[in-house]
Amino acid sequence: MTQTASKYTAADIQVLEGLEAVRRRPGMYIGSTDERGLHHLVYEIVDNSIDEAMAGFCDHITITIHKDGSVKVTDNGRGIPVDKHARTGKSALETVMTYLHAGGKFDSQAYKVSGGLHGVGAAVVNALSESMWVEVRRGGKLYKQSYERGKAKGNLKTLDGNGTAKVTGTTTWFKPDKEIFEETEFNFRTLSQRFREMAFLTKAIWLTFTDERNDHTITYYFEGGIKSFVQRLNKDRGTINEPFYCEKAFEGASVEVAIQYNDSFNESTFSFANCIHTIDGGSHLTGFRSALTRVINDYARKAKILKDNDPNLSGDDTREGLVAVVSVKLAEPQFEGQTKTRLGNAEMKGMVESTLGEALSTWLEERPSDARKIIEKCLTASRAREAARKARDLVIKKGFLDDSVLPGVLADCSERNPESRELYIVEGPSAGGSAKEGRDRRFQAILPLRGKILNVEKARPDKMLAHDAIKVLITALGAGFGEDFDVRKLRYHRVILMTDADVDGAHIRTLLLTFFFRYMPQVIEAGHLYIAQPPLFRVAKGKEVKYFYSNKDKDSHVSKMKDLKGVNVQRFKGLGEMNSTQLWETTMDPAVRTVLQVNIEDAMVADKIFNELMGEDVPPRKRFIQSHYDKATLDV
């Protein structure tokens, strides 16, 4: 560990405001009170330990989920200061835990870089926990203080005398408040994915995660950091070059970039600032893309692969099949928005651009074989993109992408406001007929699809645009395609996938999800994509009719019926077996229907799963199915 800060005392803790508002409006601080907000509590505490690691004072972090649903996080960092804070008159520990915007992250001397922008982490977790305690090992002593719903329970206690707590660090234990959270059950997979990501981004940190509920422990350690990260992201893909990695330190900042190409048609670039995933990019991502395009074009011309009269490769050409991780660390990050999804520091563009530009130019010169493979990949992408442009121009000329010329199979609605309109994408003409008859024509449009659409994971854009069903879908949505796609022009703010509850229906739904994830992710990110939930069974006795969505629920209901005489159980094998009234009553009536909103919780995991399930290689798909077959919920 490299120690870069000389001191960390109570003087480094700055108090900005109080804490009561957190419990009243928790969503303002953690985004929501559902499962995502619950997991955010753990991230806030672990982020504090990661900050100690980035400062050079910590190399081991352990996280434990206890059987009672509580969480404990321990690190071997410096330990939170415990001396009296001049402004609050309380210990620095109590100040950090009970005052909003109190922490060492506001002082660049205590932390050179930090993932915490607002300095609210520990106090917010405290406020939203029914109980909490913190132990600090510092200066040869062990200290402890307990809290309840954001308030200290007694003063700071010294548990051990001098010399007994030889290892420094902090242990934080908390139990989420059931009065605040809808659900208090932690998801092991969700947490472990985040911790693995943290370990990749913080080179040479040992991160151990234990779940006592199922006696499961996993330890992450990656000596290669983000270089190992891109190799993992490219696992089971045909790679084109050896991984490229570069890093450079600046005054108050550092830049790391790792790159490796594969033989797919998709770009997977992930950017981070102080270990926070900036899903909306920002200045560091802009600098990365600018340098990559410039360096590849410069090398291609210098190597005479691009002739004088050849046009430059576009940014899209140079990023096809690219897997990259861009990680920057800086003293005072300026994130745009409370959720920290976009980095705003303008200076990071130049830092990333110069770092990657110098290092990648040298790397390509030193590895002509890898360089030629990359350039050939980019040239192939360029030729395919030109073919796609011609195909796109052709469909525009024929009116397929013209909003004023809607496809004949589309049964549109009379409402004009996109916010009130919804489009049902329905499997097959039979179900389409029932949906058209049973819908509310004021705001519900129906688009029946014939057969299965093209698997876009295996097809280039020019092949995709030649596929009739996809052309019809693009036209109906009305927001354009490719570089011209504009989610603000989307004709419907609820796009609902409605397929049969069988294997074929699940496959069609997956093909549609692949299309939206790869070519219209903005529709998902804006919260406009949904999945309908049609029932599997209709149980009728006399005039009493009930619908059920699983064998278990249906069997439970039937078993409770005292007299089974006259009971009729109907299994819907497809949407077409329902008449228009049944389809409206169960699946299309907004007052009673259930629809699932599609969102992207982890873009990296989603990218990997789509590649495994829908890509060219069979072995990764076979392994995925074998390892997840027991989780299948399709009731057929």
Tell me: do 594 and 565 sit in the same domain: no
Tell me: do 60 and 157 sit in the same domain: yes
| 3 within some domain | no
Please report the pLDDT score of residue 280 as a whole number.
Answer: 84
Tell me: do 313 and 403 sit in the same domain: no
Catalytic residue among 44, 500, 585, 607: 500
Tell me the HSE value of 377 on the side-chain side, using a 13 A CA sphere. Answer: 25
When pLDDT is averaged across residues 172-183 and rounded to a whole number, the result is: 93
Sort strands 129-138 and 216-220 into parallel, antiparallel or unpaired: unpaired
Q: To the nearest whole percent, how much of the chain has pLDDT over 90?
A: 45
Residue type present at position 204:
A
Angstrom distances, CA of residue 94 to CA of 110, 308, 406 = 18, 67, 64
Q: Which of 205, 220, 235 is the last residue of a domain?
A: 220
Whether 409 has a pLDDT exceeding 70, the answer reads: yes
502 in catalytic set: yes
Q: List alpha helices for 303-346, DSSP H.
A: 315-319
CATH, residue 249:
3.30.230.10
Whether 561 has a pLDDT exceeding 70, the answer reads: yes
Identify any residues that bridge with 216 across adjacent strands, giving them in sequence order. Answer: 211
Residue type present at position 454:
L
Sort strands 60-65 and 71-75 into parallel, antiparallel or unpaired: antiparallel
Q: Tokens in use for 260? A: 């490796």
Instruction: Report how far residue 337's alpha carbon sits from residue 28's, in angstroms, rounded to the nearest whole number.
Output: 11
Instruction: Report how far residue 614's alpha carbon sits from residue 458's, in angstroms, rounded to the nearest whole number.
Output: 7
Q: List alpha helices for 315-367, DSSP H.
A: 315-319, 347-366
239 alpha-carbon distance from chain centroid:
24
When pLDDT is averaged across residues 269-289 and rounded to a whole number, the result is: 91
Q: Which of 390, 424, 446 is the last residue of a domain?
A: 390
Q: List alpha helices for 262-314, DSSP H.
A: 283-302
* pLDDT classification of 328: cutoffs 50, 70, 90: very high
When pLDDT is averaged across residues 310-318 and rounded to a whole number, the result is: 91
CATH, residue 132:
3.30.565.10
Instruction: Report how far residue 636's alpha carbon sits from residue 627's, in angstroms, rounded to the nearest whole number.
Output: 20
* pLDDT classification of 340: cutoffs 50, 70, 90: low
Tell me: do 260 and 342 sit in the same domain: yes
Catalytic residue among 504, 553, 617, 635: 504
Sort strands 567-571 and 537-541 into parallel, antiparallel or unpaired: antiparallel
Please report the pLDDT score of residue 431 as a whole number.
Answer: 84
Sheet holding 244-250, edge to edge: 244-250, 253-261, 322-330, 268-273, 276-277
Tell me: do 244 and 381 sit in the same domain: yes
Catalytic residue among 130, 502, 616, 635: 502
Angstrom distances, CA of residue 631 to CA of 35, 608, 626 = 20, 18, 10
**Residues ≥6 apart with Cβ < 8 Å to 523:** 477, 479, 487, 490, 495, 516, 529
44 in catalytic set: no
Residue 330: closest CA among 226, 280, 224, 256: 256
Q: Which residue has the higher pLDDT, 402 or 412?
A: 412
Of 103-117, 382-396, 469-483, 559-573, where does mean pLDDT reach its minimum?
A: 103-117
pLDDT digits (tens, 9 = 90+) for 90-139: 899 998 898 876 554 434 444 444 444 334 578 999 999 999 999 999 98
Tell me: do 257 and 206 sit in the same domain: no
| 2 within some domain | no
| 347 within some domain | yes
Domain count, the chain: 4
Instruction: Report how far residue 83's alpha carbon sits from residue 365's, in angstroms, rounded to the nearest whole number.
Output: 56
Length of the chain: 636
Q: Which of 159, 193, 220 is the last residue of a domain?
A: 220
Please report the pLDDT score of residue 116 as a whole number.
Answer: 44
Q: Which domain holds residue 101?
A: 10-220
Of 19-28, 183-192, 218-227, 334-343, where does mean pLDDT reach its minimum?
A: 334-343
Task: Specify the DSSP element, H or E, that contains 621.
Answer: helix 618-628
Cβ atoms of 375 and 381 closer than 8 Å: no
| 466 within some domain | yes
**Residues ≥6 apart with Cβ < 8 Å to 612:** 236, 620, 621, 623, 624
Of 348-357, 396-405, 606-615, where does mean pLDDT reach its minimum?
A: 396-405
Tell me: do 530 and 541 sit in the same domain: no
Beta-carbon neighbour count of residue 423 at 10 Å?
Answer: 26
3-class secondary structure, 392: helix
Tell me: do 342 and 463 sit in the same domain: no
Of 119-128, 318-327, 373-382, where does mean pLDDT reach its minimum?
A: 119-128
| 576 within some domain | no
Buried b (16+ CB within 10 A) or exposed e, 353-386: bebbbebbbebbeeeeebbbebbebbbbbbebbe
**HEC readout, 182-213:** CCCCCCHHHHHHHHHHHHHHCCCCEEEEEECC
- Torsion angles phi and psi, residue 596, rounded to 5: -100, 125
| 519 within some domain | yes
Please report the pLDDT score of residue 361 as a whole number.
Answer: 96
Q: Which residue has the higher pLDDT, 16 or 124?
A: 124
504 in catalytic set: yes
* pLDDT classification of 600: cutoffs 50, 70, 90: confident
Tell me: do 500 and 530 sit in the same domain: yes
Instruction: Report how far residue 315's alpha carbon sits from residue 382's, in angstroms, rounded to the nearest whole number.
Output: 10
CATH, residue 427:
3.40.50.670
Please report the pLDDT score of residue 185 as a whole number.
Answer: 93
Tell me: do 290 and 323 sit in the same domain: yes
Q: Which residue has the higher pLDDT, 397 or 304?
A: 304
Please report the pLDDT score of residue 337 as a whole number.
Answer: 62
Average pLDDT value over all residues in the chain: 85
DSSP string computed for 16-81: ---STHHHH-THHHHS-SSHHHHHHHHHHHHHHHHHHHHTTS--EEEEEE-TTS-EEEEE-SS---
Beta-carbon neighbour count of residue 308 at 10 Å?
Answer: 6
Intra-chain end-to-end CA distance of the chain, in Å? 56
Tell me: do 240 and 309 sit in the same domain: yes
Identify any residues that bridge with 245 across adjacent strands, giving them in sequence order. Answer: 258
When pLDDT is averaged across residues 186-210 and rounded to a whole number, the result is: 91
Angstrom distances, CA of residue 615 to CA of 53, 231, 261, 459 = 38, 18, 16, 10
Residue 150: closest CA among 16, 19, 18: 19
Sign of torsion over alpha carbons 65, 67, 72, 75: negative
For the chain, give the longest Cα–Cα distance: 86
| 338 within some domain | yes
pLDDT digits (tens, 9 = 90+) for 428-464: 788 888 899 999 999 999 999 887 888 888 877 777 8
Instruction: Report how far residue 466's alpha carbon sits from residue 378's, in angstroms, rounded to the nearest whole number.
Output: 22
Please report the pLDDT score of residue 394 as a whole number.
Answer: 62
Tell me: do 516 and 542 sit in the same domain: no
500 in catalytic set: yes
Of 63-67, 79-83, 255-259, 366-370, where does mean pLDDT reach its minimum?
A: 79-83
Catalytic residue among 427, 457, 585, 607: 427
* pLDDT classification of 214: cutoffs 50, 70, 90: very high
Q: Tokens in use for 545? A: 């009719």
| 4 within some domain | no
